[in-house]
Structure 1
Amino acid sequence: MIVLCGCGITVSLMHTLVVPLLPEISRLMDLSQDSASWLLTVTMLSGAVCAPVCGRLGDMIGKRKVLAVALGLMTVGSLVGAVAWSFGSLLVARMLQGAAFGVLPLGISILKDELPPERVMAGTATMSSTLGVGGAIGMPTAGVIAALLSWHAVFWAATGASLVMLVLVVAFVPESPIHTGGRFDVLGALGLATGLVALLLAISQGAHWGWASTPTIGLFAGSVVVLGVWATHQLRVRSPLVDLRTSTRPVVLLTNLATTLVGVGMFASFMLTPLQLQASTATGYGFGVSVMLAGVCMLPMGLGMLFFSPVSAKISARRGAHVTLLCGALIMFVANVCQALLPGGLPVLIAVLMLLSIGTALCFSAMPTLIMSWVPATETASANSLNALLRTIGTSTCAAIGGTFLAAFTVRVDGAAVASSTGFQLTYTIAAGASLVAAGLAMAVTLVIRRAGGHVAEVTELGGEADVDLVA
């Protein structure tokens, strides 16, 4: 469990470590801000495509094997970044780092297969929280390394961390005994990749291109068509990349929808709080602190998720994961409402971040537990990967919304145009609304489970086909 949680933190670090490096890379390589932002976009696209593919391959041929391959790609990508000689080579490096996004759902599935039943919830909760931990500490850590050494040193550090985790996985993580075999759905993988790339490109670049521009509308329309055809194919093929029949079971479907909204509710603070902390006090909302101090202020958020995850597991064990998800979404709603009020004191802001970390820990621990309770044991990796993909869509949507509002509402400070408080407040308000709707979906999950007699769904394999039994 320690090794797998270390993998989760390392992978989540890869998604945020480049953020503080963008200004320096833009200056050294003579890039525009829009061009440099592709170092984030390409990682997101790569991760979104590779996560479901890794999940399906893990269920088929072995989760440990695929986990090791994903970590190997991340190691190679980090090494390429460390010796990058051009913007193109740096893009390739970030794409390879993003390919490891499937590590988190694979790790959760391995814990489900290997841990004693009484420790599965705690292990799943801790593993899920690593996404928030890495996201909170990635930016300040990278900023400090870059300030003391160079941006190349950040990638060298990532190479070392990736290689260590790969060795530890090979040495200590056992291969899961549960797998399906069968043929890999290549056509389904290509269709999903095409649809996701079109959708996420439209979401991530819409603010730059214009939401009503031809490329944005064309990508949105194209993604709808491609994903519609892909869904039809998945329902007809014998061994689909994503089992849509399992994914449309009420508990699984509602949990996945809630996951997207939780991604919105969580990412607003991840995205905006560092900007608030470093903004000038003349803006009316900023604190004017350094990058290093901003990182210190964000650190309690990540640690809060890690330390509170065992508590969330206990709540799920006693009351059910659906109750944990409901409580977490409501706490996130309160925290985002507080953020929308733009706390004026640093201690108050840190307290709000801690509150958000508690809500996020509850939600992150509950969602994989709900998913794995209602899908066959042979599909846990692919089901968790789909859940992780939807969370990525949520965070990408939040980033697009926040970026649009910050660019649309500006104020002049010391002769320069900077984001006004309005953009922050609107983004936090939408995050609060998303959290509230997620709480409503969690309530719907609760009603579905109670109508089933208050029992827990246990999925068994009968005659080679998944069947759901309700067991007291």
Structure 2
Amino acid sequence: MNAVQETPVAGGKPPNPNAVVAVLAFAGITVALMQTLIIPLLPSLPGLLGASPSNTSWAVTATLLAASVATPVMGRLGDMYGKRKMLLVSLGLLTVGSVVVAMSESLTPMIVGRALQGLAAGVIPLGISIMRDELPKDRLPGAMALMSASLGVGGALGLPAAAFMADKVDWHLLFWAAAGIGVVCVALVSFLVPESKVRSGGRFDLVGALGLSAGLVALLLGVSKGADWGWTDPLAIGMFAAAVVILLAWGRFELKTREPLVDLRTTARRQVLLTDLAGVVFGFATLAISLLLPQLLQLPEATGYGMGQSMVVVGLVMAPSGVAMMIAAPFSARITKAKGPKTTLMIGSVVVAAAYALGMFFMAEIWQLVLVAALIGVGIGLAYGAMPTLIMDATPPSETASANSLNTLMRSIGTSFASAVSGVILANMTTDFHGVAVPSEGSFQLIFGIAAAAAVGAMVVAAFLPRRMRAPEPEPLVPVGAAA
């Protein structure tokens, strides 16, 4: 590995920690907002863009695939060339993508713009890594918890706003507003967030980046489109087979190269490996509420369990979960300081499991769904706040961004599998409603139960984490440009 490089600090004035935390959290919320911005439009997209429902689903799939590629790549580039620099690149891509979508009248530019928005997914792990480099040690747990929770906060709070705008104004204005927010983020980061002094230097692993990207695209295409193609369709099977072959070959290559995109030896450390595994399982658990609540709320009341509500109401019911995540973030930091991040992750998993178990029986009234969503938000805020600390406690400073990016990617893979499993259950456990097959009440209860079991699984994985781990020895600092 290369020695960590230290860049000279421009000017003598140290950064304002409060400003750094606020700006980075705002950037994280903005990126998360892009994920939910499209949801209120999905039923109308075929008519708006003159395309079939299966084709318009690429407006979501393109963002997912782009995010899976960008997250590890931007993390590694941030470690090498500067985290603030890559943060600005990511936010710039988000802004350009929003403009492209805002100007689109057909499917192709919509997909291109949504893919560009997805390329901004590295903002949250980059932001967490900047915090490690720039903030006082006593501020880190709370700041990282807030940044990590911003993914859920932006998603939950953005949905009601997006639903209201989609219902009241031309849909293009949604994305013009997103572009404006992106410009504000770029300006704030430029003026208030310093460039990190810690860099790994070295040469970018292009072959590793292409291999990982190809493997992830094959895997996530199979997961996200398998239901449309048919799980036994040769195309779906081929995607999964290609993913296995490519990722195994990629792993072999990464172990042999001197400067890998992902240092698999670091990833194989017990604390990092188990945290990433917990991220996959916990990511599976967290998506169910976002998938189930909108359908439960919008199904006709005549079904006996639907509530016949609009998308605006759906957004308002989901919003408390985002508020709960934000409120839980400082408590996550306090528990981590007192008992360690392992305990915080286990408590968060238990809260989520209990909330889903409650949801199996509490789904008859709107207030019950609000309560369940808020409790899940508390659990996510606790658990997501602990994961970056677990990763950083076992990772050298020069690999912070790439290690956090990998953990974020693991969570995304978990949510992708949750979407696929939930889709299969909702499509196959149906009841007849005036000649139309709709998801049965039992299908919702089953998914709640599976999500509760997944959260318990995350707790079990977390139980095997070491209680405390001494941070890796800092690597020697050398000025940028000095001979290695």
**Normalised-by-shorter TM-score class:** over 0.9
Letter in 2 for 1:264: F
Letter in 2 for 1:461: P
Q: Does 1:324 align with 2:344?
A: yes
1:209 is displaced (CA, Å) by: 1.1
Q: Quote the residue 1:146 is aligned against.
A: 166
Paired residue secondary structure (2:231): coil
Worse overlay, 189-198 or 281-290: 281-290
> 1:48 touches 1:389 (CA, 8 Å); kept in 2?
yes
**Mapped partners of 2:186, 2:217: distance in 1:** 28
> 1:47 touches 1:100 (CA, 8 Å); kept in 2?
yes
1:224-277 per-residue CA deviation (whole Å, 9 max, x = no partner) reads 000000001111111100010000101110110000111111110011111111
Q: Does 1:96 align with 2:116?
A: yes
**Mapped partners of 1:50, 1:411: distance in 2:** 41
Structure 1: runs of 5+ lacking an equivalent? 450-454, 465-472
1:336 is displaced (CA, Å) by: 1.2
Paired residue secondary structure (1:12): helix
1:84 to 89, 98, 104: 104
**Mapped partners of 1:222, 1:342: distance in 2:** 42
> 2:356 touches 2:448 (CA, 8 Å); kept in 1?
yes
> 1:377 touches 1:460 (CA, 8 Å); kept in 2?
no
1:230 to 250, 262, 283: 250
Q: Quote the residue 1:401 is aligned against.
A: 421
Going from structure 1 to structure 2, the CA distance change for 1:51 and 1:433 (only over 3 Å counts) comes to same
Paired residue secondary structure (1:411): strand
Q: Does 1:457 align with 2:470?
A: yes
1:85 is displaced (CA, Å) by: 3.1
> 1:191 touches 1:230 (CA, 8 Å); kept in 2?
yes
**Mapped partners of 1:394, 1:339: distance in 2:** 21
> 1:342 touches 1:425 (CA, 8 Å); kept in 2?
no
Q: Quote the residue 1:425 is aligned against.
A: 445
> 1:261 touches 1:437 (CA, 8 Å); kept in 2?
yes
1:298 is displaced (CA, Å) by: 1.0
1:52 to 45, 48, 72: 72
Which has the bigger relative contact order, CA under 8 A and spacing at least 6? 2
Worse overlay, 162-171 or 334-343: 334-343
Letter in 2 for 1:414: H
1:57 is displaced (CA, Å) by: 0.2
**Mapped partners of 1:215, 1:289: distance in 2:** 38
Q: Does 1:297 align with 2:317?
A: yes
1:239-258 map, 5 Å: 239-258=259-278
1:5-46 per-residue CA deviation (whole Å, 9 max, x = no partner) reads 000000001111111112222112232221111100000000
2:387 to 363, 367, 373: 367
1:267 to 287, 297, 321: 287
1:156-179 per-residue CA deviation (whole Å, 9 max, x = no partner) reads 111111111011111110000001
Paired residue secondary structure (1:460): coil
> 2:396 touches 2:473 (CA, 8 Å); kept in 1?
yes
1:123 to 137, 143, 149: 143
Paired residue secondary structure (1:457): coil
Instruction: State the TM-score, normalized to the length of structure 2.
Output: 0.93
Instruction: State the TM-score, normalized to the length of structure 1.
Output: 0.95
Letter in 2 for 1:456: M
Q: Quote the residue 1:107 is aligned against.
A: 127
1:96-136 per-residue CA deviation (whole Å, 9 max, x = no partner) reads 00000000000010011111000000000001111111111
**Mapped partners of 1:11, 1:423: distance in 2:** 31
Worse overlay, 8-17 or 141-150: 141-150
1:220 is displaced (CA, Å) by: 0.6
Q: Quote the residue 1:182 is aligned against.
A: 202
Q: What is the number of residues matched between the two proteins?
A: 457
Paired residue secondary structure (1:379): helix
Paired residue secondary structure (1:456): coil
**Mapped partners of 1:170, 1:242: distance in 2:** 28
1:73 to 76, 93, 111: 93
**Mapped partners of 1:117, 1:105: distance in 2:** 18
1:140 is displaced (CA, Å) by: 2.1
Worse overlay, 51-60 or 426-435: 426-435
**Mapped partners of 1:137, 1:409: distance in 2:** 31
Q: Quote the residue 1:28 is aligned against.
A: 48
Q: Does 1:16 align with 2:36?
A: yes
**Mapped partners of 2:449, 2:232: distance in 1:** 23
Worse overlay, 80-89 or 49-58: 80-89
Taking only aligned residues, the RMSD between alpha carbons, in angstroms, comes to 1.2
**Mapped partners of 2:427, 2:54: distance in 1:** 13
Going from structure 1 to structure 2, the CA distance change for 1:227 and 1:57 (only over 3 Å counts) comes to same
**Mapped partners of 1:138, 1:402: distance in 2:** 23
Identity of aligned residues (%): 46
Q: Does 1:340 align with 2:360?
A: yes
2:83 to 31, 43, 63: 63
1:349 is displaced (CA, Å) by: 1.8
Structure 2: runs of 5+ lacking an equivalent? 1-20, 478-484
1:150 is displaced (CA, Å) by: 1.4
Q: Quote the residue 1:201 is aligned against.
A: 221
Paired residue secondary structure (1:289): coil
Runs of 4+ more than 4 Å apart: none
> 1:53 touches 1:241 (CA, 8 Å); kept in 2?
yes
Paired residue secondary structure (1:459): coil
Paired residue secondary structure (2:199): coil
**Mapped partners of 2:61, 2:409: distance in 1:** 15
> 1:135 touches 1:270 (CA, 8 Å); kept in 2?
no
> 1:202 touches 1:216 (CA, 8 Å); kept in 2?
yes
Letter in 2 for 1:181: G
Paired residue secondary structure (1:381): helix
Q: Does 1:164 align with 2:184?
A: yes
**Mapped partners of 1:344, 1:364: distance in 2:** 29
Paired residue secondary structure (2:147): helix
**Mapped partners of 2:217, 2:368: distance in 1:** 39
Worse overlay, 217-226 or 25-34: 25-34
1:462 is displaced (CA, Å) by: 5.0
> 2:282 touches 2:414 (CA, 8 Å); kept in 1?
yes
Paired residue secondary structure (1:433): helix
Q: Quote the residue 1:469 is aligned against.
A: none
